[in-house]
Each structure stands twice: as structure tokens, then as C-alpha cells.
């Protein structure tokens, strides 16, 4: 099973990248995260959202994050 990257937004507002094989169910992540964002295609896209996504008008969708991550690799 392929692990896909997600962002978990903790109850204190901090964000972290985690990997899950399936779409995270509310019951399995409620204790850890207030919100789960994703799935992302790459860990780079998830890291862009983690680091720069909050309140950033240039990062509104997963595709925005993936595009920015691709441009940073070039």
C-alpha cells in the first residue's frame, strides 16, 4: 500500500507532515489533529503547505503547493 503525505494541524495550530496509506478517518486522528489536509502527491508539496500555507493567497490548493515545490527543485 502506498503511503501518501498529509498535513495534520494540531489543536494548538502547529502543523506536521505525516504519511497514511488510506484517507485518514476522523476517529483515528481526532486525538492528534484538529484538521487533516491532503492527500498530497509529494512530501515536498506537503512541506510547502506546512511551512508557508497559513494565510498565503498563493497556496490555496494542493496543486498550488505541488507547483511551488516543483519550481523549488528546478
pLDDT digits (tens, 9 = 90+) for 5-33: 999 999 999 999 999 887 776 667 778 89
Beta-carbon contacts of residue 50 (< 8 Å; ≥ 6 apart)? 7, 15, 16, 17
Q: Read off the pLDDT of residues 18-72 as tens digits, 9 standing for 90 and up.
A: 998 877 766 677 788 998 888 999 999 999 999 999 999 999 998 999 999 999 8
CA distance linking residue 25 with residue 45, whole number of Å:
21
Q: Domain residues of the chain, as ranges?
A: 4-73
18 alpha carbon, distance to own chain's centre? 8
The predicted model scores a pTM of 0.84
Amino acid at each position: 500500500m502506498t503511503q501518501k503525505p498529509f498535513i495534520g494541524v494540531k489543536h494548538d495550530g502547529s502543523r506536521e507532515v505525516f504519511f497514511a496509506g488510506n484517507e485518514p478517518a476522523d476517529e483515528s486522528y481526532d486525538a492528534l489533529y484538529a484538521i487533516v489536509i491532503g492527500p498530497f502527491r509529494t512530501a515536498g508539496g506537503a512541506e510547502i503547505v506546512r511551512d508557508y500555507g497559513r494565510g498565503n493567497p498563493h497556496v490555496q490548493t494542493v496543486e498550488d503547493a505541488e507547483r511551488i515545490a516543483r519550481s523549488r527543485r528546478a
